[in-house]
Amino acid sequence: MPSAHPYVDAICDPRSVTRLVDPPVPGANDGRWWPPQVLLPAWLDAHASDFDLVHLHFGMESYTPAELTETVATLRRLGRPLVYTVHDLENPQLVSQEDHRAALAVLTAAADELIALTDSAGGEVRRDYGRIASVVPHPTLSSSATLPTGTAAGTTRIGVHLRDLRPNIDGVGTVATLARAIADLRADGARVEGVVRMNARVRDAEAAASIDRLAADAEGVTVQRGDRLTDDELVAWLADLDACLLPYRHGTQSGWAELCFDLAVPVIGTRVGHIAAQHPADFHAFAVGDPASLARAITDATAPAWSIPGSPRRVEEVARRRTERLAERDAVRAAHTEVYRRALRTAAAA
């Protein structure tokens, strides 16, 4: 859970795995899965005959470590195993990580099976929590046979999407660094521009105002404000980029890095978490506050011919990756099915 999340859809083989729908949240709008009712002991007791195991991905920040301790105790009493994919060794929705790490300690100790998305994340789980996780890579989240390949603009476009300025996004620092890097590259004759996207509704209005001022004073940097993009709109926006700049100040993995890989859009980001380990050849590192490092990363990221939107090489690269990623998704689904079977065998033997 959450059952309706695109990641969960991508990893579950419909031939062998049946997912329950997300239980409705009292008082919430239809379709909202958080706080996840599946983690409530009362729900588990009432629906014990409806499920064989619980696979947790997201949403545990809705509950305290003490409440999660009650959840795992209930699962033990019912004889139902817990599988936990450690997506977030640091929670992107939180500033302080103290409670999150306490929750991780509860869940990693209790889970019958753990999954990590990269070898380096698995190593952190082993080092900090003393458990060995099965490493299963992040699959493609797109079910489409074909993906857009973008449209050339005559300039090199570096895009950064700040979304709603959630806690792990350093919007001001990233845009300030981008503006200076763009200025330096343009001074050297490069035809490059920065495109900053930001939701109309943000969590930090003061930061949004600072970003607007930074862009207004920077030649070659524009800010787009608007409603949250739909999945199709986001894919189209990314496909038009020569490279995508990730603005994270902390985090663990990135679904955006996966989507960019599908679209053959190189990624530029800070070395937080394990994002660089997802697709190392496509990742180019920079440091916030160091425009020279960002200028180098932009130059390196946009060097391959396939980085140009709409080019024949981009079209070819997207098609090649699509074939590989769909095959990988089949392998990811098989790996998850085996993890589930192993967890059920362990619970049956207990």
Query: Residue 225 — pLDDT band, cuts 50, 70, 90?
Result: very high
**C-alpha triplet 9, 115, 259: angle, nearest 5°:** 45
Query: Among candidates 248, 199, 286, which has minimal Cα distance to 256?
Result: 248
| pLDDT, averaged across the chain | 96
Query: Residue 144 — pLDDT band, cuts 50, 70, 90?
Result: confident
**pLDDT at 193 > cutoff 90:** yes
CA distance 242 to 151: 10
Q: Tell me: the pLDDT tens digits for 60-89? A: 999 999 999 999 999 999 999 999 999 999
**Does residue 37 contact residue 57 with C-beta atoms inside 8 Å?**
no
Query: Residue 31 — pLDDT band, cuts 50, 70, 90?
Result: confident
**pLDDT at 350 > cutoff 80:** no
**pLDDT at 318 > cutoff 90:** yes
CA distance 30 to 19: 18
Query: Residue 4 — pLDDT band, cuts 50, 70, 90?
Result: confident
Q: In what order do the strands lie in the sheet with 243-245?
A: 221-226, 192-199, 156-161, 243-245, 267-269, 283-285
Query: What string of DSSP letters covers 5-68?
Result: SHHHHHH--TTT--PPPPPPPTTSPTT---S-GGGSHHHHHHTGGG-S-EEE-S-GGGS-HHHH
From the centroid of its chain, how far is CA 189? 35
Radius of gyration of the chain (CA): 21
Residues 145/329/325/267 CA torsion (nearest 10 deg):
110
The percentage of the chain sitting over the pLDDT mark of 90, rounded to a whole number, equals 93
Q: Which two tokens stand for residue 10?
A: 């991508």
**Does residue 44 contact residue 78 with C-beta atoms inside 8 Å?**
yes
Question: Which domains occur in the chain, in start order?
Answer: 6-135 (no CATH), 156-313 (3.40.50.2000)
- The pTM for the full model equals 0.95
Q: Tell me: the pLDDT tens digits for 259-292? A: 999 999 999 999 999 999 999 999 999 999 999 9
**pLDDT at 1 > cutoff 80:** no
